[in-house]
């Protein structure tokens, strides 16, 4: 299960070696793994499983936070590289990677929600796509500061919850958590995302009312 999540396209022996190397690095393993997972060639579930496994090895809450922060750093670095690819290539580069229909839908969502269109997918598990929004943010020259903040907020929420689950329930729940990682993510992060989406909806309506009053 872990081998398949960490590197699905590799042969079993290679995957095993990569898995051992990543886990041997401990929290530092989040950096190379994050660079791959948040790039244009993501490895779904790999960062989630590593976070749960490392957090399950200790009962000290500050280690859970450390693993959550390191996972966030690795993921944000990977996301930033993807953002830079979109910024450098522009819309023409996106047309080579995605269908016209998918691009129009992604651009429409991003134009309306901006910050939230990055933060919310960063919280939610697959199959919610994140990479298209990272590339579109770059292609549309979205603020680097806002982009990094959105990615950091989304990923920190996600990995903090996973680190807590891994650390709180420990090794006894590890087989269940790793085998049903998407179920766990779907429930816990789904509820969180609903709260975040509600906040952005409220703020968006408030801003529209404020602009309407100024015009009048």
pLDDT tens, 172-194? 666 665 566 556 556 655 656 66
Asked if 50 and 71 count as a contact pair (C-beta separation under 8 A), the reply is yes
User: Taking the CB of residue 175, how many other CB atoms lie within 10 A of it?
Assistant: 10
pLDDT of residue 1: 47
Say if 47 falls within a structural domain: yes
Query: Is residue 145 one of the residues assigned to a domain?
Result: yes
Q: Which two tokens stand for residue 73?
A: 């750093």
Q: Please check whether residue 112 lies inside any domain of the structure.
A: yes
Look at residue 8 and tell me whether its pLDDT is greater than 60. no
Residue 113 clears pLDDT 60, i.e. is over it: yes
Q: Would 127 be classed as within a structural domain?
A: yes
- What radius of gyration, in Å, describes the C-alpha atoms of the chain? 18
Maximum average pLDDT range among 95-99, 178-182, 190-194, 195-199: 95-99
Helix, strand, coil percent values for the chain (each to nearest 5): 85, 0, 15
- The answer to the question of residue 97 being in a domain is yes
Nearest residue to 161 via CA among 134, 119, 193, 129: 193
Domains identified in the chain, total number: 1
CA 192 – CA 175 distance, rounded (Å)? 24
The predicted pLDDT at position 189 comes to 57
214: in domain? no
In a domain, 215, yes or no: no
At residue 151, the pLDDT reads: 94
Highest mean pLDDT among 21-30, 108-117, 121-130, 166-175: 108-117
Residue 216 belongs to a domain: no
Among 85-94, 127-136, 150-159, the minimum mean pLDDT is found in 85-94
Q: Is 182 exposed, middle or buried (0-12, 13-18, 19+ CB in 10 A)?
A: middle
| Spatial contact of 45 and 2, defined as CB atoms under 8 Å apart | no
Residue range(s) defining the domain that contains residue 38: 2-209
pLDDT band at 55 (very low <50, low <70, confident <90, very high): confident
pLDDT for the residue numbered 169: 77
Average pLDDT taken over every residue of the chain? 75
pLDDT at 149 exceeding the cut of 90: yes
């Amino acid at each position: 299960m872990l081998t398949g999540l960490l590197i699905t396209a590799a042969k079993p022996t290679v995957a095993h070696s990569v898995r051992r190397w990543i886990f041997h690095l401990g929290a530092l393993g989040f950096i190379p793994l994050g660079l791959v997972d948040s790039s244009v060639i993501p490895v779904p579930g790999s960062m989630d499983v590593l976070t749960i496994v490392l957090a399950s090895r200790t009962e000290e809450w500050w280690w859970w936070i450390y693993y959550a922060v390191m996972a966030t750093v690795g993921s944000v670095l990977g996301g930033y590289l993807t953002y830079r690819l979109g910024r450098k290539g522009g819309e023409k580069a996106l047309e080579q990677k995605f269908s016209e229909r998918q691009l129009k839908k992604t651009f429409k969502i991003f134009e309306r929600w901006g910050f939230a269109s990055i933060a919310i997918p960063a919280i939610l598990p697959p199959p919610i796509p994140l990479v298209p929004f990272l590339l579109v943010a770059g292609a549309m020259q979205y603020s680097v500061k806002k982009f990094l903040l959105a990615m950091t907020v989304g990923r920190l929420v996600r990995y903090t919850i996973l680190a807590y689950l891994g650390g709180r329930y420990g090794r006894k729940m590890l087989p269940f958590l790793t085998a049903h990682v998407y179920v766990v993510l779907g429930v816990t992060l789904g509820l969180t995302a609903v709260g975040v989406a509600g906040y952005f909806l409220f703020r968006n309506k408030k801003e529209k009312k404020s602009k309407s009053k100024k015009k009048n």
